[in-house]
Amino acid sequence: MTCKNKKDRKIKQINLSDIIIPKYQPLVNDKVHMHKIIDSGRAGTKSSFIAILVIYMIVAIPDTAVVVMRKHHNKLRKTVFKEVIRAIKRLGLNKSKFEIKMSPMQITYKKNGNVVYFTGSDSIDDTKGMIDEERKIRLVVLDELTEFFDKGEGEDELTNIEATFVRGNDEFFEMYYLFNPPKSANAPIMRWVKRMEKRDDCIHVHSDYTDVPESWLGKKLIQAAEAMKNANEVLYNWLWLGLCVGTPETVYYMFKESMISKNDDFTKLIHVGISIDYGQLNATTYQAFGMNTEKLEVQGIDEYYHSGRDSGFQKTPSEYARDFKNFYEHIENMINSNRNGLSRKKIEAVFIDPSARGLAEEIRRIMPGIRIVPANNKVALGIERTQKMFSFFKLFINYRQEHLIDEMDIYKYNTDLLEKGKEEVIKTNDHCCDAMRYYIMGFWKYFKMLLPVTERGDK
């Protein structure tokens, strides 16, 4: 493929082999397999490969349309749409040769009228009737395939999409499926992959960053991968190598005794917060943390814990509110001891279980002006972020947080569901861990900066 460079008017030759890793190169001209499954670890370049292939096809193959899909429309613009636009430059082409539209989201190659359509599949019937009347749809890409299983109809939805676009297409047609493998080899998407691998018209290619030339990735990215390998090899195998490592029964399996801090000096802490997990018969706990500005790590301070079931005495919301006021003042005193005349530090925020509205109102009643924030209760995401903090030794629990320490060994996934590929935490012995997660989620925009650059996003 060639293009003219405006500055020197010379012809610039772009070879696909120069911008596609060897593992993917045979797929470009593969007309045998209609179904092509690509999974990878982080930096496996599958997204850049498919974007290059999409642009290459509409430029080089006459009478061609391409459909690129994710499960939800609202995730297209900042992900696969952006990546396909980048591919124009990677192929040495000028963006002026393309019409790029946002509504509807599509890219047209002006010279031949070939089009890339971007769409979601928010319902199983979303793609019915979506047929290009002027050009043949030769390629359908399903990006982030896991979403179709976790939030959609799974294999039934994929079959429906295939039937929609393959109908009446007697010429070349192919479907690409892209995803990062889940932890469990028993997850529904992995069971689907095993069934597809038995078909003669399907090929499955796996890649990871070790398949990519070092000059493409840069030394810093490789160093970040090695840092993860040293910190938590299980997480490294999953995130970077894209392997189904299985899900350990214990959620915070990477927690070590060395992560229990004996610290009694809290004057260097910022972003001090208290997180609340509330129960009636179940336990109610307040967990206090802050970020140490010298050590660049999150440190626990102290906890409050009361279980109506264990103690045989159930407290009312107003009693819990009074206990909270005392705990709040206790934490403020701890972070201000030995300040030697410096201005008094304040607790920055209180993150509370979203279902505990009654307790929140009681606290506001006796503590006017206090900043209470409903906690972000996305469990899987919160666990993933907390695991990263532990893995890189950026999160420490104080010895005073005895109930939280006790929970670290007994906070577990449901083993019966793990065997079916589902990660669901058992809702017992989880109150302190939930509160810790609320705090990490609440200040994540700060805490993620403590991690290597590659770990600041989410899986």
Check: CB of residue 263 under 8 Å from CB of residue 397. no
* Interatomic CA distance for residues 233 and 314, integer angstroms: 44
pTM over cut 0.85: no
> Exposure of 340 by Cβ count < 10 A (0-12 exposed, 13-18 middle, 19+ buried)?
exposed
Dump pLDDT digits (tens) for 400-447: 999 999 999 999 999 988 888 888 999 888 999 999 999 999 999 999
Q: In whole angstroms, how far apart are CA 232 and each of 223, 236, 392, 446?
A: 14, 6, 8, 22
> Exposure of 333 by Cβ count < 10 A (0-12 exposed, 13-18 middle, 19+ buried)?
exposed
Model confidence at 338, in pLDDT bands (50, 70, 90)?
confident
Mean pLDDT of the chain: 91
Residue 98: its H or E element: strand 98-102
Taking each helix axis as running N to C, give the angle between helix 188-197 and helix 155-166, from 0 to 180 degrees, rounded to the nearest 10.
Answer: 50
Dump pLDDT digits (tens) for 358-398: 999 999 999 999 999 999 999 999 999 999 999 999 999 99
Dump pLDDT digits (tens) for 90-115: 999 999 999 999 988 999 999 999 99
Q: Which residues, other chains included, contact 377 with Cβ-Cβ below 8 Å and sequence gap of 6+?
A: 353, 354, 438
Domain spanning 2-217: CATH superfamily: P-loop containing nucleotide triphosphate hydrolases (3.40.50.300)
3-state secondary structure of 10: coil
**Looking at the predicted structure, is the pLDDT value of residue 168 above 90?**
no
* Interatomic CA distance for residues 244 and 182, integer angstroms: 6
DSSP tag of 429: S
Dump pLDDT digits (tens) for 295-324: 999 999 999 999 987 777 889 999 999 999
Q: Which residues, other chains included, contact 345 with Cβ-Cβ below 8 Å and sequence gap of 6+?
A: 267, 269, 272, 332, 335, 336, 339
The ranges assigned to domains in the chain are 2-217, 257-455
Q: Which CATH architecture has domain 257-455?
A: 2-Layer Sandwich (3.30)
